[in-house]
Structure 1
Amino acid sequence: MASQMAIFTRTKTLFAKTLNPNLKSLSISTFTFLSQEPQLAESTPTTPLPPNPATGSPVYSENWRNQAPNSETLAQSLIPLGLLKNASTQRVQAISQTIDAQTLMDLFANWMTSKRWSDMKEMFEYWIRSLDVHGKPNKPDVGLYNHYIRANFMLEASTAELIDLVAQTEDFAIVPNTASYNLVLKAMHQAGESEAAQKWLERMLQGGKDSLPDDETYDLLISLLFSKGEIDSALKYIDMALKSGYMLSMNVFTECVRGCVDERRPDALVSIIKKCKTMDQNKALCPTWNLCIIIAEVAVQEDNSELAFYALEFLARWMARGENARPPVLLSADEGLVVSVLGTAGRTFNQKLLDASWAVLRRSLRQKRVPKPESYLGKIYAHASMGDLQRAFITLNEFETAYGDSIIDMEEIFSPFTSLYPLVVACSRKGFETLDSVYFQLENLSRAEPPYKSVAAINCVILGCANIWDLDRAYQTFEAMGSSFGLTPDIHSYNALIYAFGKLKKTFEASRVFEHLVSLGVKPNAMSYSLLVDAHLTNRDQKAALSVIDEMVNAGFAPSKETLKKVRRRCVREMDEESNDRVEALAKKFDIRMNTENRKNILFNLEYSASYA
């Protein structure tokens, strides 16, 4: 040890003499040290230092004259030790020390097309620790930093890690923009974190103008909320997006429609469609063909005329697209669906929906055939419900023109008791005032060119007169059918007259009408016998009613359940057990299950007295 110290001392002395040969050995003075008193210096104003040129880089202390990674500011995701031995990593590190921010942006653009996310992440982490050509640490802008966030997102970084990366933008003195927040929102969408996504959007709204939500933001959040079944929240943000003037994507619009349909929220869906139609960027949105049909079905079930109209409008739009395509794709709406929509138009008194449904039906048929009778009856019902008798009778004329000479059985189709009963109700809505107005219009049309004469229309007037208990008008209209209109009454005309007599307990006259039509060779139908039974029951003659039922059975008709129940009720109230047994026998013969009438019997057997008052 002593020898080593001696060698070290000798070497040190020699090294000193070599560097300065004129150096002389000096001795230490033995004089006492001079005593000095401290003097106060005059105070002068100090000038502050200029700002740190490394502002915006949290790793300045690491890459200023020392590039060894010894800081934990950004280093949790930076260079693992094992990567230093990798040739590819060393090449990335070498490149990062020679390029500027714009060149790095162009390089990232190329790497994104080839999905080199890991290389992008490493390159950014090396580049941020390197110096530029001026010897200052590299400082990224928000666009370059977003590439780094995207690389982490594509490498399946967690939502918390991406939030930390956005928070670290403050260390680089940059402000995250909407794209930065959207990358985090994408991660939340993939992870299904709906509550966190809503809070994240609120944070974007509280930020500056650079971080306000855009179309993609609302699309991600709304899609996430619909996937989680949070319909109310999704509708709230859709309303917010539309009020802000943003465009909804087709996927989000489809999810919105499907969610509202599944949850039976027709009013909310109507509100959204209305707002979309008022915006140029959203008015072209249209659900798929099958989804339009589902919308129409739900609208019919909910009796929502506005939603039904929008569904038909979407269907018409698809039909127009198919016709303009090359080769053409001819789409047709189901006629049964259109009939249901016609019923909705009649129940909701919506003329616009009625016109739209008929237009869609005509376009679907493409003049290859006429609409089915159910379609005409649905249109007549809609016009009659809205009180538009003129259009109702015009539709009846078209109906008779299309099916008047058809070989199919038209007995029930033109019956005022069943198919045309809505038109009868409309004719008698204001009593004799409406009935007289309809009669005079029909009389004028019979003299027009070309003349319009309809037995079915006059039958509706006769039955309407019977509904308001006006037997005289009913009988006069029946007689005018031959004298004024030159038409021959059919079975429905006689049935309407039987109904008018029976309603006023004129059973004898009703029977005379029945005998008259039989004598003319007109074959009675089941309605004729049922009306005659009702006439006898109105006169409290259950035995005569049973006699008519026997004639009905002999003629080949089966009594209805309602007819047998009426006869049984009269037998019970008249205490006619024999007739009641005959009713039970008829019910068993025709396999009709007669329900009990206990509740009606209780009301019938109540004993009213002054004590209840």
Structure 2
Amino acid sequence: MDQNKALRPEWKLCLDMLDCAMKADNSELAYYALEFMAKWMIQDENMRPPRYLSVEEGLVVSLLATAGRTYSKKLLDAAWTILKRSLRKKRVANAETYLARIHAHASLGTDHLKKAFGALHEFESLYGGADKQAAEDLFSPFTALYPLVVACSHNGFATLDSVYFQLENLSKANPPYKSLAALNCIILGCANIWDVHRASETFTAISTTFGLTPDVNSYNGLICAYGKLNKRKEALELFEQLKSLGIKPNAMTYALLVDAHLVAKDPKSALSIIDEMVISGYTPTKAILKKVRRRCIREMDYESNDQVEDLAKKFGIRMGTETRRNLLFNLQYTADYVQER
């Protein structure tokens, strides 16, 4: 061997190692493959003339997902470092890559929440100026940022309060950091632990403490909290307030109002919300219609059930049957009856 060269696999073999490691969720093997690739990149950049090797961004997204599944901080940091070296400051990472990084940090537990919110801050600084609809989707706590919501509510109100006070302190720092997306995650986290009081206080603090304006995701988080605790009246009042301020409800808003009516065992009102949803240009999903149908059957509201079937036919949704669910329900009912007897 040439003593001046370290023994390491060729570049293509490193890619094969990464592929095998990700399929097997082997974070150690993936880390070693990245380490070999980093050495190749450094060596080739020091050549004359230099040669620049790069790792595809899609591969880094898969590596970040593997780091999240295997709870590997080492692989997460290595994947992000090699991505930055591949981009060479000529362009920024895609939004999907930042979301994968945030998800990976969130999966590592409450100890990594600070880094997750740090990644969110970087993400907001790059993509926060996107058009309104794109921003709603990118920073939605119900979809794109939901892993961060789960991490915030993992230990109940203790973690939620800790994150909130950190955000409050950062808003008073120099320069201040105020994140509406982070506050929306806290509101939905409060809804997940059925704490409508904390959700309402956080919603109010958006404007009073942080000086920000609530968006549709903020309203959706509080509507979710009200709906879970059967506070349908408050949820509807918030919905009317949202519309009076000129904020356009999105599909999630209508879905949450449908849930609020179903919790109150009122399928007729749920169907009226779906009608309003259709008028606004949104299509009800199969999941929404199936939830309404189940409530119609339990309340023996066959007229509303026929309306659900008509909606399914109108939008070409195949509803299927509830045979397995009904069988389990009947078995449980029979068991309870026998136990009472």
* Superposition TM-score, scaled by structure 2 size: 0.94
Cα distance in 1 for residues equivalent to 2:100 and 2:207: 30
Moved more, 595-604 or 502-511: 595-604
User: Please, which of 129, 135, 140 is the counterpart of residue 415 of structure 1?
Assistant: 140
Number of the residue aligned with 2:290 = 565
Output the amino acid matched with 2:92: V
Aligned to 1:399: 123
Read off the aligned partner of 2:71 and give its amino acid letter. Answer: F
Alignment deviations for residues 186-222 of structure 1 (CA, whole Å, 9 cap, x no partner): xxxxxxxxxxxxxxxxxxxxxxxxxxxxxxxxxxxxx
CA deviation after TM superposition for structure 1 residue 612, in Å: 9.3
Q: Which amino acid aligns with 1:366?
A: R
Counterpart residue number, 2:70: 348
- Paired amino acid for 2:43: R
Q: Which amino acid aligns with 1:317?
A: K
Answering whether residue 315 of structure 2 is matched by residue 590 of structure 1, we say: yes
> What letter is aligned with 1:598?
T
Give the SS at the match of 1:570: helix
Which whole-Å CA distance do the structure 1 matches of 2:19 and 2:260 have between them?
Answer: 42
Match of 2:94 in 1: 372
The CA deviation string for residues 132-158 of structure 1, in whole angstroms up to 9 with x for no partner, is xxxxxxxxxxxxxxxxxxxxxxxxxxx
Partner of 1:136: none
Is residue 67 of structure 2 the alignment partner of residue 359 of structure 1? no
| Structure 2 match to 1:603 | 328
| CA-based RMSD | 1.9
Deviations 1:261-291 (A, max 9, x none): xxxxxxxxxxxxxxxxxxx98x933333233
Counterpart CA distance in 2 for 1:402 and 1:593 is 41
Distance in 2 separating the partners of 1:454 and 1:334: 30
The one-letter code matched in structure 2 to 1:334 is: E
CA contact under 8 A between 1:442 and 1:453: conserved in structure 2?
yes
Q: CA deviation at 1:344?
A: 1.2
- Aligned match of 1:382 in 104, 126, 134? 104
2:223 equivalent in structure 1: 498
Tell me, in whole angstroms, the C-alpha distance in 2 between the residues paired with 1:369 and 1:595: 48
- Please give the alpha-carbon distance, in whole angstroms, between the structure 2 residues aligned to 1:298 and 1:513: 51
Contact persistence 1:297–1:337 (CA under 8 A):
no
* Residue in structure 1 matched with residue 21 of structure 2 by the alignment: 299
Equivalent residue letter for 1:491? V
Higher RCO by CA contacts (8 Å cutoff, separation 6 or greater): 2
1:441 and 2:185 are equivalent in the alignment: no
CA distance in 2, matches of 1:435, 1:604: 36
Deviation of the 1:324 alpha carbon: 2.1
Contact 1:346 1:385 in 2 (8 A): yes
Q: Which residue of 2 aligns with 1:486?
A: 211
Is the Cα–Cα contact under 8 Å of residues 463 and 474 in structure 1 kept in the other structure? yes
Residue aligned with 1:565, SS: helix
Question: Counterparts of 1:425-574 in structure 2 under 5 Å?
Answer: 425-574=150-299
Gaps of 5+ in 1: 1-246, 248-279
1:401, 1:416 → 2: CA distance? 17
Cα distance between partner residues in 1 of 2:125 and 2:60? 21
One-letter amino acid of the counterpart of residue 121, structure 2: N
Q: Which amino acid aligns with 1:493?
A: S
CA–CA distance in structure 2, aligned partners of residues 497 and 577 of structure 1: 32
Q: How does 1:248-397 map to 2 (within 5 A)?
A: 284-387=6-109, 388-397=112-121
Alpha-carbon shift at residue 392 of structure 1 (Å):
0.8
Q: 1 or 2, which has the higher helix percentage?
A: 2
- 2:330 and 2:200 map into 1 onto residues whose CA distance is 39
Helix, strand or coil at the partner of 2:136: coil
- Which amino acid is 1:537 matched to? L
CA distance in 2, matches of 1:549, 1:514: 14
Matches for 1:176-191 after TM superposition, within 5 Å: none
Q: CA deviation at 1:583?
A: 1.4
